[in-house]
Structure 1
Amino acid sequence: MSWSRQSAVTHRTRTGRASIPVIGTIALVAVTLVVALTLGTVVLGQGSTPEPAPTAVIDLSVDGDTLTFAHESGETLDVRELSVRISVDGEPLDDHPPVPFFSASGFESGPTGPFNTASDPEWEIGETASLTVADTNSPTLDSGSTVSVRMYWENKPVIRTETQV
């Protein structure tokens, strides 16, 4: 009696059964790659936390239509990354200053300090910046009214200050 092991192997090869381990190996490698890529994406995604907003103390004073901001303490602020919103008695101005600027709708030309495009945009402790609200902007800064200023960095509030005219 002859042993049929050799013929069984030959038979498997002819019917495609011997290719099952190859297909299984390819499938296992594919699943491993998908899992590794998914885990890598999750781990890398968690590692990138958003940068915290800078902190600073800004003092506001108003003289007529001119708003002067003094950087009292905290971090240096890059005014190119700030958006400034001004309100008078709770009502926002029609036009807000696009700091830094030289000439902008609703404001007189030539703001000072880092608010001016010709200056260094890095606003450091001890520096002042000022701008003058034009008569064409509304509401007007009348004596006794409250001026509120909010400054945002990447849509996060950084500074909130107010004073009376």
Structure 2
Amino acid sequence: MAPVAGVLLLAITVVLAGGVAAAALGPSTATVPPSAVLSLSATDDRIAIRHRGGDPIDVAAVTVCVSVDGEPLDEQPSVPFFSAAGFRPGPTGPFNAASDDTWRVGETASFRVADTNDPTLEPGRTVTVRITADGQPVATLETSVEAG
């Protein structure tokens, strides 16, 4: 009886080890966000984000969330866009709907916040921009608004 139990325990161990190995080595379902070095500037009503290094970013997968002094803008930019509520038409770089869908090193994406969006950008206020790609965080950037 003991040899049969030993063989059974060994078989269970092998099956469990195989399952763990398959789970560890199998395809990953998690999306890995791009790794990028970005910088932020804000002058009057313009927010500019420069891609300084790292992976290219698929703009179609990007979500941008802007806060001023900790309060989110009433209207958030849905990128890419050309004209959107709460923003002046014609963002530049990869945030413009007419641009290439890939944000590469050296490119600056910028947009202008309309006076109708609240809170407004005013010199001295702190702007925070959170960027995600496919729901995964890419960067959180912060700067003070400067007079233009």
Q: What corresponds to 2:125 in structure 1? A: 145
- The percentage of counterpart residues that share the same residue type is 51
Among 83, 93, 98, the residue aligned to 1:118? 98
The separation in 1 between residues aligned to 2:97 and 2:38, in whole angstroms, is 20
> When the two structures are aligned, how many residues end up with a matched partner?
126
Q: What corresponds to 2:41 in structure 1? A: 61
Q: Which has the larger radius of gyration?
A: 1
Shifted more, 47-56 versus 83-92: the winner is 47-56
Deviations 1:93-142 (A, max 9, x none): 01110100001111000000000010111110001111000011100011
Aligned pairs for 1:1-165 within 5 A: 43=22, 47-49=26-28, 50-165=30-145
Q: TM-score, normalised by structure 1?
A: 0.72
Q: TM-score, normalised by structure 2?
A: 0.80
The separation in 1 between residues aligned to 2:39 and 2:113, in whole angstroms, is 18
Deviations 1:65-119 (A, max 9, x none): 0011111011000111000000000000011101000011110000000000101
The one of the two structures with greater contact order (alpha-carbon pairs below 8 A, sep at least 6) is: 2
State the shift of 1:51 in Å. Answer: 2.9
State the shift of 1:154 in Å. Answer: 1.9
State the shift of 1:44 in Å. Answer: 7.4
Which structure carries more helix by proportion?
1
State the shift of 1:46 in Å. Answer: 6.8
- What letter corresponds to residue 128 of structure 1 in structure 2? T
The separation in 1 between residues aligned to 2:56 and 2:142, in whole angstroms, is 21
